[in-house]
Amino acid sequence: MARKKKTTVTVVSQKQIAEQIYDLWLETELAQEAHAGQFVAVYPHNAATLLPRPISICEVDRDRSRMRLVYRIAGKGTAEFAACRAGDSLEVLGVLGNGFPIEKAAGKKVFLMGGGIGIPPMLQLAKELDADKHILLGYRNQDLFLQEDLAENGQVYIATEDGSVGVQGNVMDIIRVNGLQADVIMACGPMPMLRAVREYAKEQGIAAYISLEERMACGVGACLGCVCRTREPDHHSHVNNARICTDGPVFEAGEVEI
């Protein structure tokens, strides 16, 4: 794996694409090493907000050394990022974590499932993955984002909680209503969704790779802040607590207790 580094990156562009959701393109050499499902940690300039914010990689453009982050304002740090304009610089730590195991899905029928702010990593995944891709997206309402980019890379299905677009309900309802089937699942989204995905994959006897999140401090596996329970002893501490930042964030669903 490439060496991790903290580096200064330049903002190429930023725009708001939905309520509280921002679309940020950065120019950085980290784009050369980034893969679907990995993340970077972005530092606020304000010294009172110390810790870097882990944000999943939405898309990379290796030819132009650019990286796209689509994130939601969740607090002071992300609110500061949302004010960035083209030409501004940011400090970024990366590339962090292990991405989705593309090789497990190549050539197969795959569900790419994204819920809410778990949707962005599905775009780079859809671009990297050569397979029969069914992209299942869950939103709160008609305030959609990234669905057009994703439609260029596979068959997109939409669910909204209020039923304003597509199937009413969540990504699991898309499967049920359309009678879909897959050989393998790759998913990112809120914990209730990931639990449902895990349960469904177990019933169907198929593999599911899910991307987890947790409050992080270091992002590099040193502080042991962001752990999740695992079925087998983790290789670092041997106590069934794997580090999401370095052992994940993508895990095979059956390996983790969520």
Partner 1 sequence: MNTKVTIAGVTLNNPVMTASGTFGSGMEYSDFVDLNRLGAVVTKGVANRPWPGNPTPRVAETYGGMLNAIGLQNPGINVFTERDIPFLRQYDTKIIVNVCGKTVEDYLEVVERLGDEPVDMLEINVSCPNVKEGAIAFGQKAEALYDITSQIKDKARQPVIMKLSPNVTDITEMAKAAEAAGADALSMINTITGMKIDIHRRQFALANKTGGLSGPAIKPVAVRMVYQAAHAVKIPIIGMGGIANAEDAIEFILAGASAVAVGAMNFVNPYATIEVVEGIEAYMERYGIENVAELTGAVEE
Q: Does 98 bind partner 1 (CB under 8 A)?
A: no
Q: Which of 17, 50, 86, 191 binds partner 1 (CB under 8 A)?
A: 50
Say how many residues touch partner 1, by CB under 8 A: 34
Q: Judged by CB under 8 A, does residue 242 bind partner 1?
A: no
Would you say 155 or 237 has its CB closer to partner 1? Answer: 237
Nearer to partner 1, 58 or 218 (CB): 218
Q: Does 232 contact partner 1 by CB under 8 A?
A: no
55 is a site residue for partner 1 (CB under 8 A) = no
| Binding flag, residue 184, partner 1 (CB under 8 A) | no
Does the protein bind partner 1 through residue 13 (CB under 8 A)? no
Give yes or no for residue 74 binding partner 1 (CB under 8 A): no
Do 198 and 253 contact (CB within 8 A), yes or no?
yes
Judged by CB under 8 A, which of 13, 224, 252, 258 binds partner 1? 224
Pick from 34, 201, 216, 253: which binds partner 1 (CB under 8 A)? 216
Q: Is 36 in the site for partner 1 (CB under 8 A)?
A: no
In the complex, minimum distance from the CB of residue 227 to partner 1, in angstroms, rounded to a whole number: 6
Q: Compute φ and ψ for 109, nearest 5 degrees.
A: -85, 120
Closest CA to 127 of 64, 57, 180: 57
56 vs 71: CA distance, rounded Å = 8
For the chain, strand residue ranges (E) read: 5-18, 21-27, 39-43, 53-56, 59-61, 66-72, 89-96, 109-115, 132-139, 155-160, 167-168, 184-188, 207-211, 227-230, 241-243, 250-252, 256-257
Of 69, 57, 59, residue with least CA distance to 24: 69
